[in-house]
């Protein structure tokens, strides 16, 4: 909590104990250390008008006691806006899964430039370093799970499995996810120095790389024809070009002899919801309900398949605990319609997706205000999409490593299922 918000909460707890002393304020001295309970403040039984009057009283008190030379009306109003966002986040996170609780907060105020960079990601363009990672704050490392093709990270030779231990000399120990994201983000052309560990145990080597943040196009799909006619497609994220990429991959794999398909959504952080619906559309009949969105104040909307399926052969879907948002929606749609057998771990449990609302004056509100539901109206918020066959543990390093020997039990099980299902249908 910022210093300004802390002042707001503390003053609202005990406005009559703020020095300097006045005749109506009997307590004036060096009070023992303590902290206000924000949840207790939120639990006060006040009417709307009473809370509004209390807010006005607090504002006047702060301006008078701290002084206009040190605190402005504008700062108080902007700080109050951040406080409103904090309360909204507190309420929205009450039903989050433990893993989803480590994601960026559901609501935040952004400068318009920051919002524009986020929106570019849905267009298939990114500005940054080009890594996907998992945070292990207790040991002070971020583990690289994927290096995006054509990115600055690929150009300097970063690899999946590398462990980044510091950025510009700043360690990651104890950092939360939002702090790490803020450290990694930066403007076009800015430079960053990473200290990296590669390898395990005594054989690990430490080295340093310097990267320059650049804009680059993101391909969201990897493909490979596996033995026994299994067409393997991994979707890394969903952006506006993903449906065409998946459709083209399906066509190429079919020409190469694929007669069953494995769709890998593990570690997929979601993305553009319309693109995710269009990918589900490739597998389901026309007019099928793909997913449902619910926006408080705006109502419900069913997204329907608009075309005939591109393929009719057997499909399996791989998911894990880092499959979230729009990717969960695809898995739920194919599962509920009996179109795919879902294998892996329960997904992240993020049943809301974000919108960007321009507020003016250079500010944009990012808010998880759209609820996602399965075709039958089922929400996976908090508990995730549950696989048909739960299996834990995989290499999760992309299409080049999937199915390598027995190192990826989820992949191997999915291939076995597809072989059995396809052979049984002949």
Domain boundaries, the chain: 3-95, 125-217, 221-425
Q: Note the pLDDT of residue 21.
A: 57
Q: Note the pLDDT of residue 216.
A: 85
Task: Give 247 or 392, the one with higher predicted confidence.
Answer: 247
* pTM reported for the whole predicted model: 0.76
The C-alpha atoms of residue 399 and residue 341 are separated, in whole angstroms, by 19
> In this structure, what token pair is assigned to residue 44?
């006060």
The C-alpha atoms of residue 147 and residue 157 are separated, in whole angstroms, by 9
2.40.50.140, 3.30.420.40, 3.90.226.10, 3.40.50.9100: which CATH number matches 221-425? 3.90.226.10
The C-alpha atoms of residue 271 and residue 238 are separated, in whole angstroms, by 5
pLDDT over 80 at 2, yes or no:
no
Q: What secondary structure letter does DSSP report for 325?
A: T
DSSP states of 35-68: ---HHHHHT----HHHHHHHHHHHHHHHHHHH-T
CATH code at 125-217: 2.30.42.10
The C-alpha atoms of residue 394 and residue 412 are separated, in whole angstroms, by 10
pLDDT over 80 at 374, yes or no:
yes
pLDDT over 80 at 102, yes or no:
no
pLDDT over 60 at 311, yes or no:
yes
Give the Cβ contact number of residue 414 at 10 Å. 29
Please tell me whether residue 214 adopts helix, strand or coil conformation: strand
Q: What is the arrangement of strands in the sheet containing 341-344, beginning at the earlier edge strand?
A: 221-226, 230-235, 260-264, 315-319, 341-344, 389-390
Q: Identify whether the C-beta of residue 214 lies closer than 8 Å to the C-beta of residue 187.
A: no
pLDDT digits (tens, 9 = 90+) for 157-206: 999 989 999 999 998 887 887 788 888 888 788 999 999 999 887 788 89
Q: Note the pLDDT of residue 55.
A: 92
Do 125-217 and 221-425 have matching folds?
Answer: no
Q: Identify whether the C-beta of residue 147 lies closer than 8 Å to the C-beta of residue 222.
A: no
Give the Cβ contact number of residue 412 at 10 Å. 17
pLDDT digits (tens, 9 = 90+) for 147-156: 888 899 999 9
Average pLDDT of the chain is 85
Q: Note the pLDDT of residue 398.
A: 37
Mean pLDDT over residues 7-23, rounded? Answer: 43
Q: Which of 238, 281, 217 is nearest to 122 (CA)?
A: 238
Strands 260-264 and 230-235: parallel
Give the Cβ contact number of residue 241 at 10 Å. 19
Give the Cβ contact number of residue 424 at 10 Å. 8
Sign of CA dihedral 319, 323, 327, 333: positive
**Which range among 183-197, 329-343, 404-418 shows the weakest confidence by mean pLDDT?**
404-418
């Amino acid at each position: 909590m910022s210093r300004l918000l802390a002042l707001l909460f503390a003053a609202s707890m005990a406005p009559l104990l703020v020095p300097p002393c006045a005749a109506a304020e009997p307590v004036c001295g060096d009070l023992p250390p303590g902290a206000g309970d924000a949840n207790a403040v939120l639990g006060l039984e006040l009417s709307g008008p009473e809370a509004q009057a209390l807010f006005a009283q607090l504002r006047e008190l702060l301006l008078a006691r701290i002084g206009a030379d040190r605190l402005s009306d504008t700062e108080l109003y902007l700080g109050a806006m951040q406080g409103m966002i904090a309360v909204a986040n507190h309420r929205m996170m009450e039903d989050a899964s433990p893993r989803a609780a480590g994601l960026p907060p559901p609501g935040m105020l952004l400068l318009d430039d920051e919002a524009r960079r986020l929106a570019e990601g849905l267009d298939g363009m990114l500005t940054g370093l080009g890594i996907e990672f998992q945070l292990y704050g207790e040991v002070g490392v971020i583990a690289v799970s994927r290096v995006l093709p054509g990115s600055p990270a690929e150009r300097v030779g970063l690899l999946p499995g590398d462990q980044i231990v510091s950025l510009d000399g700043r360690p990651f120990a104890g950092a939360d996810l939002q702090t790490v994201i803020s450290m990694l983000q930066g403007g076009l052309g800015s430079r960053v120095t990473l200290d990296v560990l590669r390898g395990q145990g005594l054989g690990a080597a430490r080295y340093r790389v310097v990267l320059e943040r650049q804009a680059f196009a993101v391909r969201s799909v990897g493909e490979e024809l596996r033995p026994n006619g299994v067409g393997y497609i991994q979707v890394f994220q969903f952006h506006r070009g993903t449906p065409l990429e998946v459709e083209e991959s399906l066509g190429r794999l079919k020409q190469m002899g694929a007669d069953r398909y494995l769709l890998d959504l593990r570690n997929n952080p979601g993305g553009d919801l319309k693109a995710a619906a269009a990918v589900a559309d490739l597998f389901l009949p026309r007019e099928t309900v793909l997913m449902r969105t619910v926006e408080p104040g705006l109502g419900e909307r069913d997204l329907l398949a608009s075309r005939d399926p591109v393929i009719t052969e057997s499909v399996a879907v791989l998911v894990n605990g880092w499959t979230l948002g729009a990717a969960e929606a695809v898995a739920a749609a194919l599962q509920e319609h009996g179109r795919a057998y879902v294998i892996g771990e329960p997904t992240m449990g993020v049943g809301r997706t974000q919108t960007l609302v321009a507020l003016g004056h250079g500010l944009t509100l990012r808010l998880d205000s759209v609820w996602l539901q399965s075709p039958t109206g089922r929400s996976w918020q908090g508990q995730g999409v549950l696989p048909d066959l739960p299996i834990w543990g995989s290499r999760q390093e992309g299409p080049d490593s999937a199915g390598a020997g027995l190192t990826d039990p989820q992949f191997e099980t999915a291939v076995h299922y597809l072989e059995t299902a396809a052979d049984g249908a002949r």
